[in-house]
Amino acid sequence: MIKRRPYSMTLLFILMVAITAAVHARPQDKPTIKRRHVAATERIIGLSFDKSERDSLLADLHDNLGNYQNLRALEIPNSCPPALLFNPIPASKAFDNETRALIFAPVKEVSRPEGLEELVYYSVTQLAELIRTRRITSLELTKMYLERLRDHGPELECVVTLTEDLALMQARRADEEIAAGKYRGPLHGIPYGAKDLLAVKGYPTTWGAMPYKDQVIDEDAAVVQLLEEAGAVLVAKLTLGALAWGDVWFGGKTRNPWNLEQGSSGSSAGSAAATAAGLVSFAIGSETWGSIVSPSTRCGVTGLRPTFGRVSRTGAMALSWSMDKLGPICRTVEDCAIVFDAIRGPDGLDQRVVDLPFNYNYQVDWNRLRIGYVEQAFEEDRPGKANDQAVLEVLRELGANLVPIELPDYPIEDLAFILSAEAAAAFDELTRSGRDDLLVRQIRRAWPNSFRASRFIPAVEYIQANRARKLIIQEMERTLAEVDLYVCPSFGGDNLLLTNLTGHPCVVLPNGFNEQGSPTSISFMGHLYDEATLLAVARAYQEATDWHLKHPPEFK
C-alpha cells in the first residue's frame, strides 16, 4: 500500500461512493459507516490511512452520503451534459478562419441503368447527378432502398425501425422541389440511414437497448435536421450495440455482409452493415472509441470520424461527453466530405461545437504536403501487415513525401477509464434502478458490469487522468508540427484510443482483404479541424486503388 494523507472532500466522495455502492439500494437507506468499511475501501483505491485518520473521516462520509442521496432524487436526463466541457485545442494553437469555396471532384459521366437495383452501390455523387438531371427520381430511389431494407434488413439484423412514411414524404417533396428548379445540393433526394442513438420525431429512439426499446424522444437530432435541410431522405433507423457497445442489440446481433457468421462489429453496426450491403446510400454513425473505425473496417466501407466538437450532438444519446463524435459512413471518401459539409457547425445548443471553415479541395499538391506514418505500427508483425505496407507504396507512387513519426509515449490504455466513468454517469439511473438487468449482454466486458465497477473510480483519479490527457494533447501537437497529416494501421499500437482522447479526426477506408476474405482497412489522421486536407489525401489514395469498389457478393 502507498501511504498518503487524505487530500480533500473529493477523496471522501469516492470513499463514500465505494462504501455505499450496493447499486440497487433505495436512496433513503442510510447504512452505518464504520472504520472497517473505510479500511476495506482503501484497498480498492490503493491508499492507506491509519486508525485516527479513519475515525476522522466517518462523520464527513455520513454527511456526504446524505448529499448523494438528495442529488439522486433529481431527474437528470441523458441529454444534460456536465458543466465541465472538454477542450481538445492545444495552448496557443491558431486555426485558419478564412472560408473558401468547396471544390469537389468533377462528376464522371453517369447514366441511368436498365435495372434500378443496379444503382444500389452507386456513390452519393453519382446518385446526385442522376437526381439533379432528373434521370431518376428520389421517390424511385427511396422505394428501391426501402425494398432492400425490408428484404435484407432481417438477415443482417441491421434495422431497428423503417421510417417509411417520413421517407416517402421527403422523397416526394424533393422531386417537387427539383422539378421546380429548387435544387438544394448533392444530398437532395438521397436516401440514408441513421444510427438509432439519434432522435427522430415520431419514431422510437431505442439506443439499441431493451430498457429503451419503446422510448420516443419528441425532437429531431441536430444532424437529422441538417440533413433534412440538405434535402436528404431518412429511410431507416439502424442498429447499434446496446448503449453503443459492440454489435449486439435487443433484437439480435448485426451481421457482417461479407460473412454472415460474423458480427459487423460496433457500435455503429447497422450503419456500416447497411451501407456495405447497399441498403442505404450512406449512414450516420458515431464514435467514442472505435465505433466508426471498427465496423467500417469489418464491413469494408469508408468512414469519417470528425474532430471532437465539429458536429453537434444535440438529440444524440450521450455516452462520454468528452469523447463522443458523430460522423458519416459512406462508400467513398468524397461522399464523406459531402455529408460532413452538411452536418458540421454550431446549432446554438451544443456548447462543444466550434465554428471553423471546411475548405475542401479534392486536388492534392504532393509537393507541398508532408505525410507522416507511424513507423513502429507499420513494422509490427500482425495480421494485415502486407496490406498496410502496400498503402505506403501507393502513396509513394502518388508522389507523397513520407515522414516517419512516433506517437506520444504515454500510458494511453490506462486513461480508458475516463470513458468508463462518464458512461457510468450517463446511465447512473439505469444502474441504480436495476433495469440494467434488461440488457442482453451481462458478461464481464459489457455495460452493466462496467457501470457498476465505474462507481469505484475515484474522482481524484478521473481528474488526474484528464490532466494527463492535457499533457498528451500538447505532446500530440508537437508530434504533428512537422507533418500535415499521418497514416497508421487502423488498430496499430495505441493510435485509436489516443486520437479519440485527443479529439483528432480520422478517415478509415478499405485497403484489401485478409486470408479469410474479409475486408481490412487503413486510417488517415489529420490535424484538429483540418478534415479538408485529411479527406483530400485519403480520397487520392482511394482513387488510386479499387478496394472501395468491391461489394459483398450475396448482396449485389
Q: ∠ CA 459-465-468 to the nearest 5 degrees?
A: 145
In order of 182, 372, 486, the CA distances from 396 in angstroms are 44, 12, 14
Cα distance between residue 145 and residue 458, in whole Å: 49
Rg, Å, the chain Cα set: 24
Question: Exactly one of 123, 265, 267, 523 is catalytic; which is it?
Answer: 267
Does residue 267 have an active-site annotation?
yes
CA atoms within 13 A on the CB side of 336: 33
Strands, E assignment, 274-417: 283-287, 302-305, 325-330, 371-374, 402-405
Assigned C-alpha cell, 358: 471546411
Assigned C-alpha cell, 92: 496557443
Q: Note whether 12 and 6 are within 8 A (CB).
A: yes
Does residue 8 have an active-site annotation?
no
Assigned C-alpha cell, 213: 426499446
Helices (H), 455-512: 459-479, 495-502
HEC assignment per residue over 344-365: EECCCCCCCCCCCCCCCECCCC
Residue in 226, 182, 208 with CA at minimum distance from that of residue 264: 208
The number of beta carbons lying within 10 Å of the beta carbon of residue 392 is: 17
Question: Exactly one of 123, 138, 143, 195 is catalytic; which is it?
Answer: 195
Beta-strand relationship, 191-195 and 233-238: parallel
Question: Exactly one of 138, 286, 291, 296 is catalytic; which is it?
Answer: 291
Does residue 450 have an active-site annotation?
no
Catalytic residues: 195, 267, 291
